[in-house]
Structure 1
Amino acid sequence: MRSAGLRRPMSPELYDQPYVRDALAAYDFGIVFTAIREYTGLSQTQLGALLDLGQPRVSAVERGERRIGHVKVVARMASRLGIPPHLLGFPVEGGGSLSMKEVSWVDRRDFLVLVTAATLGSNLHPELARLGNSLPGDSMPSIRTRLGAADIDAIEAISEGFRRWDMAHGGGFCRAAAFAQVHQVRALENADCTSDVRTRYWIAAAGLAATAAWLAYDVEDHDSARRLWAYALDATYRGQDHPRSTDLAVTILLDMTHQSLHLWRPDSPDDDAGRRRQEALALARLASTTAGSRKHPVSTMTAGYISAVTAWCWAALGEAEQMRRAMGTAEDLYGVASVDNTPPWASFVTHAEITAQQGHSYYLLSLTDSTAAPAAIEQLTAAINGHAIEHARSRAVALPTLAGAYLQAGDYDSAATCGRDAISAVAALSSERCCTRLRHLDTIAARYDRNPSVADMREEIRMVTPLAL
Structure 2
Amino acid sequence: MNDPLCGPCARASGFRKPIPEDFYEDADLRAALENYDFGPVFAAVRQHTGLTQLQLADLLGLSQGRISAVERGERRLINVRTAARLATVLRIPASLLGFPASHTVTGDVIDKEVSWLERRDFLSLVTAATLGSSLNPELARLGSLLPGQVEPVTRSRIGAADIDAIEAVTEGFRRSATAHGGGLCRAAALTQLHQVRRLEDAPCSPEIRTRLLVAIANLARIAGWHAYDVDDHDAARRLWTYALDTARRADDHPHAPGLTVHVLLNMAHQALHLERASEALHLVQLASATAANRKHPVSTVTQGYTSAILGCCRAALGEPEPTHRALGQALETYAAADPAATPPWTKFVTDVAIAGQQGYSLYLLSLSRPEFAPQAIEKLTSAATGYGAEYERTRALTLPPLASVQFQAGDIDAAVATGYDAVNAITGLSFTRGYARLRVLDTVAAPHHGKPEVAELREHIRTALTTAA
**TM-score bracket for the superposition, by shorter chain length:** 0.5 to 0.7
1:191 aligns with 2:202: yes
2:9 is aligned to none
The change in CA–CA distance for 1:139 and 1:187 in structure 2 (over 3 A counts) is: farther
Deviations 1:137-188 (A, max 9, x none): 9896763343211111111001100111111111111000001011111122
1:153 is aligned to 164
| 1:165-204 correspondence to structure 2 within 5 Å | 165-204=176-215
Deviations 1:32-57 (A, max 9, x none): xxxxxxxxxxxxxxxxxxxxxxxxxx
1:243 aligns with 2:254: yes
1:208 to 219, 230, 251: 219
3-state secondary structure, aligned to 1:432 = coil
| 1:23-422 correspondence to structure 2 within 5 Å | 143-264=154-275, 276-422=276-422
Amino acid at match of 1:403: A
The change in CA–CA distance for 1:301 and 1:452 in structure 2 (over 3 A counts) is: same
Aligned partners of 1:467 and 1:297: how far apart in 2? 47
Percent pairwise identity:
54
> Relative to structure 2, which stretch is displaced further, 430-439 or 179-188?
430-439
Aligned partners of 1:432 and 1:139: how far apart in 2? 30
For residue 409 of structure 1, report the CA deviation from its aligned partner: 2.0
2:109 is aligned to none
Amino acid at match of 2:404: G
For residue 446 of structure 1, report the CA deviation from its aligned partner: 2.7
Aligned partners of 1:466 and 1:301: how far apart in 2? 40
The change in CA–CA distance for 1:139 and 1:249 in structure 2 (over 3 A counts) is: farther
Contact 1:212/1:225 (CA < 8 Å) preserved in 2?
Answer: yes
Aligned residues: 322
Contact 1:355/1:379 (CA < 8 Å) preserved in 2?
Answer: yes
Aligned partners of 1:239 and 1:392: how far apart in 2? 33
3-state secondary structure, aligned to 2:253 = coil
For residue 413 of structure 1, report the CA deviation from its aligned partner: 2.2
Aligned partners of 1:196 and 1:468: how far apart in 2? 46
Contact 1:323/1:361 (CA < 8 Å) preserved in 2?
Answer: yes
Gaps of 5+ in 1: 1-136, 265-275
For residue 443 of structure 1, report the CA deviation from its aligned partner: 2.8
For residue 433 of structure 1, report the CA deviation from its aligned partner: 1.1
Aligned partners of 2:447 and 2:258: how far apart in 1? 42
For residue 468 of structure 1, report the CA deviation from its aligned partner: 7.0
For residue 448 of structure 1, report the CA deviation from its aligned partner: 3.1
For residue 445 of structure 1, report the CA deviation from its aligned partner: 2.3
Aligned partners of 1:283 and 1:147: how far apart in 2? 35
TM-score normalized with structure 2 length: 0.66
Aligned partners of 1:226 and 1:442: how far apart in 2? 29
1:57 is aligned to none
The change in CA–CA distance for 1:405 and 1:140 in structure 2 (over 3 A counts) is: farther
1:31 is aligned to none
2:452 is aligned to 452
Deviations 1:233-289 (A, max 9, x none): 00111001111111100011111110000111xxxxxxxxxxx11100000100111
Aligned partners of 1:444 and 1:260: how far apart in 2? 22
Amino acid at match of 2:446: A
Deviations 1:118-146 (A, max 9, x none): xxxxxxxxxxxxxxxxxxx9896763343
Deviations 1:52-99 (A, max 9, x none): xxxxxxxxxxxxxxxxxxxxxxxxxxxxxxxxxxxxxxxxxxxxxxxx
Amino acid at match of 1:422: A
Contact 1:142/1:187 (CA < 8 Å) preserved in 2?
Answer: no
For residue 450 of structure 1, report the CA deviation from its aligned partner: 2.5
Aligned partners of 2:378 and 2:439: how far apart in 1? 23
For residue 316 of structure 1, report the CA deviation from its aligned partner: 0.3
Quick check: which has more Rg, 1 or 2? Answer: 2
Aligned partners of 1:172 and 1:446: how far apart in 2? 31
1:463 is aligned to 463
The change in CA–CA distance for 1:139 and 1:367 in structure 2 (over 3 A counts) is: farther
Gaps of 5+ in 2: 1-147
Aligned partners of 2:156 and 2:309: how far apart in 1? 41
The change in CA–CA distance for 1:291 and 1:138 in structure 2 (over 3 A counts) is: farther
Amino acid at match of 2:317: L
3-state secondary structure, aligned to 1:189 = helix
The change in CA–CA distance for 1:138 and 1:253 in structure 2 (over 3 A counts) is: farther
The change in CA–CA distance for 1:468 and 1:443 in structure 2 (over 3 A counts) is: farther
TM-score normalized with structure 1 length: 0.66
For residue 467 of structure 1, report the CA deviation from its aligned partner: 5.4
Aligned partners of 1:448 and 1:180: how far apart in 2? 47
3-state secondary structure, aligned to 2:457 = helix
Deviations 1:293-320 (A, max 9, x none): 1110010000000000000000000000
For residue 436 of structure 1, report the CA deviation from its aligned partner: 2.5
Amino acid at match of 1:283: L
Aligned partners of 2:153 and 2:445: how far apart in 1? 52
Select the structure with the greater relative contact order (CA < 8 A; seq sep ≥ 6). Answer: 1
Contact 1:356/1:379 (CA < 8 Å) preserved in 2?
Answer: yes
Aligned partners of 2:188 and 2:287: how far apart in 1? 29
For residue 406 of structure 1, report the CA deviation from its aligned partner: 1.2
Report runs of 4+ in structure 1 exceeding 4 Å deviation.
137-142
1:428 is aligned to 428
